[in-house]
Each structure stands twice: as structure tokens, then as C-alpha cells.
């Protein structure tokens, strides 16, 4: 069902910067804002980024979001072991009138 | 403090109806910008949005489940109820409710900037005979 495409996996070593992409279309990412979520094993997702690049209070500034055209990205700098989690992008689709989630990216900290 | 909590049966038989309740606190379901979404996650798989309801009772739901899915506000002003009829084993997974906010565009009358900002802990449902 995912109309938002994410790479299934990403990895990095502690201290590195990693980036996760999210590709969509003109009726979703191209015209709406993007959320990014972090999901630790066995936990509910947590909002990391809203409005493409804003962080809720309590989210470290190591997490940054960006959007260009019909794609969005989440960058994590100063990678830490507890960043190991699944990351999801999401946005509204104007044509389908539904919320879309990406397929998720499993981040491994080597 | 915004909180949401899902409740409902842990085990449902195939062909039965699954009914889940989301109880919220710390925000009002009557607020024009705020609503509640239901999202599920099969074991080991990705998140799947199911439906949402907003203060004006505006509802959107997944076209893949539309004929089996209904969402409504409960008898309590702080509850949202999700019903899924004729369940199958593929409907097993963790079901989350989450607060969803949006911005109203006065010029167009439409909405934008949907944010799913607070989540409940989830409730695990198994469909099995």
C-alpha cells in the first residue's frame, strides 16, 4: 500500500551522519508537509519531525528534516547507538484523501 | 499532558467484528484543528493508516478497508471508536490511535499540514479461531 518509498535499510557508525530518503508524488509530498517518526522495538512511534523540518520539544537537533519537490529526507548527525530503530515518513495525499506512510527504514548503528 | 490509550479485545475470531476504543485526555475532540487517527502495524511490518475523524465529524478512511471499517466518536466526549467487520488473520497486529492536527486554509476552505503528534501505546490484536 506504501505510496511513499523509503530504502529498507540504512547504517552508520557512531558519530557519523546518515540520511534517509522518502519519495512520493505531486499529490502528497509535493503539496503537503511531511512527518518523520522513530519507532524503537516494541514501542509506539514517536514524532521526530513535523512541517517538513520542525522538531517537537524534546527531540535533539541532531535530527533534521528537509523537503524538495516530491521527496523528503531525514538526516541524523552524531549517530548514537540508541538511534538504532525503524524510521517512517508520512504525509497526507490530496488525491486519495488518506494519510500515507512510507515502508520504513531500519537504521543499524554498526 | 496529551495522552491516548487504546482498549479492546486481544483475541478475535475470523469473521467477527473487532471494536477498539481510543480514550484521550489533555486535548478536546471538539477543537477544530484536532482529530484522532487509527493506524495499525502487522507483526514485523510497516505502519498502515486506517482512518481519522475530526471535530466536525469529518471522516476519511483507507480505500482498501473502507467497506469493513467505521470510525466514530464514542458516547464519552473523549473517546473514538474503530470497528472492523469480518476480520481475517491478516488483520492481526498492533493497533494505535494517535492525535492528528491539521491547518485550515481560509482562502480555499481546504486543509493542509496534517501532523500525527501523540500516539497511544498500542493494543495487540490476534485474529484466530
- Chain B positions contacting chain A at CB under 8 Å are 37, 39, 46-49, 52, 60-64, 96, 100, 102, 112-122
**For residue B86, what pLDDT band results from cuts at 50, 70 and 90?**
very high
Q: Are B125 and B110 in contact (CB under 8 A)?
A: no
* CB–CB contact B48 A101 (8 Å): yes
**For residue B40, what pLDDT band results from cuts at 50, 70 and 90?**
very high
Q: Are A50 and A56 in contact (CB under 8 A)?
A: yes
**For residue B109, what pLDDT band results from cuts at 50, 70 and 90?**
confident
* CB–CB contact A96 B63 (8 Å): yes
According to DSSP, residue A39 is labeled E
Q: Number of A to B CB contacts under 8 A, please give it.
A: 72
**For residue B107, what pLDDT band results from cuts at 50, 70 and 90?**
confident
A94 bridge partner residues: none
Mean pLDDT over residues B78-83, rounded? Answer: 96
CB < 8 Å to A1, chain B: 48, 62, 64
* CB–CB contact A50 B115 (8 Å): yes
* CB–CB contact B119 A90 (8 Å): no
Residue with cell 488473520: B89
**For residue A16, what pLDDT band results from cuts at 50, 70 and 90?**
very high
Closest CA to B38 of B83, B105, B2, B87: B83
Is the pLDDT reported for residue B106 higher than 80? yes
Own/partner contacts of A58-63, CB < 8 Å, gap of 24 or more, are A63/A36
> How many C-beta atoms lie closer than 10 Å to residue A8's C-beta?
10
Q: What is the mean pLDDT of chain A?
A: 95
Q: What is the pLDDT of residue A2?
A: 59
Is the pLDDT reported for residue A1 higher than 70? no
CB < 8 Å to B109, chain A: none
Amino acid at each position: 500500500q506504501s505510496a511513499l518509498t523509503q530504502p529498507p535499510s540504512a547504517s552508520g557508525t557512531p558519530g557519523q551522519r546518515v540520511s534517509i530518503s522518502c519519495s512520493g508524488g505531486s499529490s502528497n509530498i509535493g503539496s503537503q508537509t511531511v512527518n518523520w517518526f522513530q519507532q524503537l522495538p516494541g514501542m509506539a512511534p514517536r514524532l521526530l519531525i513535523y512541517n517538513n523540518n520542525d522538531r517537537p520539544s524534546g527531540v535533539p537537533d541532531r535530527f533534521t528534516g528537509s523537503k524538495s519537490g516530491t521527496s523528503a529526507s531525514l538526516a541524523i548527525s552524531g549517530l548514537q547507538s540508541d538511534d538504532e530503530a525503524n524510521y517512517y515518513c508520512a504525509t497526507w495525499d490530496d488525491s486519495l484523501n488518506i494519510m500515507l506512510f512510507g515502508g520504513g527504514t531500519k537504521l543499524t548503528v554498526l | 499532558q496529551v495522552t491516548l490509550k487504546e482498549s479492546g479485545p486481544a483475541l478475535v475470531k475470523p469473521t467477527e467484528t473487532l471494536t477498539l476504543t481510543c480514550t484521550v485526555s489533555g486535548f478536546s475532540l471538539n477543537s477544530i484543528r484536532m482529530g484522532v487517527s487509527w493506524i495499525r502495524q502487522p507483526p514485523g511490518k510497516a505502519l498502515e493508516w486506517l482512518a481519522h475523524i475530526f471535530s466536525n465529524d469529518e471522516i476519511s478512511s483507507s480505500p482498501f478497508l473502507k467497506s469493513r471499517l467505521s470510525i466514530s466518536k464514542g458516547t464519552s466526549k473523549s473517546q473514538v471508536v474503530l470497528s472492523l467487520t469480518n476480520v481475517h488473520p491478516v488483520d492481526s497486529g498492533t493497533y494505535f490511535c494517535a492525535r492528528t492536527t491539521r491547518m485550515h486554509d481560509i482562502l480555499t476552505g481546504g486543509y493542509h499540514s496534517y501532523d500525527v503528534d501523540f500516539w497511544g501505546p498500542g493494543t495487540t490484536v490476534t485474529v484466530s479461531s
